[in-house]
Amino acid sequence: MEKIIFRCEDSTDGIFTGVYDAWASKLGHDNVALQSGMNINYELFTSYVDVPVDHEKAYKVARTIREKMVEEDYEAVYQATLSKENDKADAIYRMIVLGLSCNYRGPLIQNLGNPHICKVFELSRNVGNEAHHYLGFVRFKELQNKVLSSVIEPENKIIPIIGDHFANRFPNENFLLFDKTHQMLMVHEVGKDWVVVTGEVNDPEKLYRASEREMEFQELWKGFCKSIGIKERKNQQLQRKLVPLKRRKYMPEFI
């Protein structure tokens, strides 16, 4: 039988929609596969089916995973959908199929002997590690309109993971967190839940225009960081290990 590949959007809802359609096709799990994103290597003797995002289908898949599998498995699958890797969708599909078709006791994600589960585990761990690092690397600045703003360039789509942290940390602030790599913008308004907006940002330069007071405080912060440094104990190699060069672009103390 000819292999069928379901092509879905590179997003959590897009991949979950692909899982729903691939399963509902009843073509047999061995005869179907999932691919996400635009960078697709076409295969011979294969048919491709484009899967439009359907939020209702995605919700049903997420609900089923949480009902039939343990929470640890759902968290691993969810974080894997945020990965930068192109081969994540099919590994996620295979893990879900296995989780719903067997009576495995305990977290399925711990069954690292299975190559698909091991792949999901690695993707999830990579996303989680990057999100954890950014909790310490994010720097907000006050814009001219008094809104706080921060720009980051992560490899993975980590904003959905770190959003709650900053919303809880700054509940009384209006702030923006912009993922320049993936064109994702987290918007937090005082008294409201934070939301994520995707797509091109109109006039992104507004996210960089700091207020005069902000510039004054940045100079004070730079002076403080310089004054507490001990020249004789300076260790550039250790500093690069703790704060990689690629993270410093939007950190005032390194500008």
User: Average pLDDT of 70-83?
Assistant: 95
Distance CA 137, CA 92 (A): 29
Q: Tell me what pLDDT residue 220 has.
A: 87
Q: Tell me what pLDDT residue 77 has.
A: 96
pLDDT digits (tens, 9 = 90+) for 115-167: 999 999 999 999 999 999 999 889 999 998 889 999 999 999 999 999 999 99
For the chain, give the percent of residues with pLDDT over 90. 52
User: Average pLDDT of 174-180?
Assistant: 92
Distance CA 40, CA 107 (A): 31
Closest CA to 153 of 174, 182, 188: 182
User: Average pLDDT of 60-66?
Assistant: 94
Q: Tell me what pLDDT residue 27 has.
A: 85
Tokens coding 206: 């507004």
Tokens coding 212: 């005069």
Scanning the chain, the segments in alpha helix (DSSP H) are 12-24, 55-68, 71-81, 88-101, 115-137, 159-169, 212-228, 236-242
Residue 5 CB-density burial (10 A; 0-12 exposed, 13-18 middle, 19+ buried):
buried
Q: How do 175-179 and 184-188 pair as beta strands?
A: antiparallel
Q: How do 195-198 and 32-36 pair as beta strands?
A: unpaired
Q: Specify the 3-state DSSP secondary structure of 50.
A: strand
User: Average pLDDT of 179-205?
Assistant: 85
| Average pLDDT of the residues of the chain | 88
User: In degrees rounded to 5, what are phi and psi of residue 66?
Assistant: -70, -30
This prediction's pTM: 0.87
Q: Tell me what pLDDT residue 219 has.
A: 87
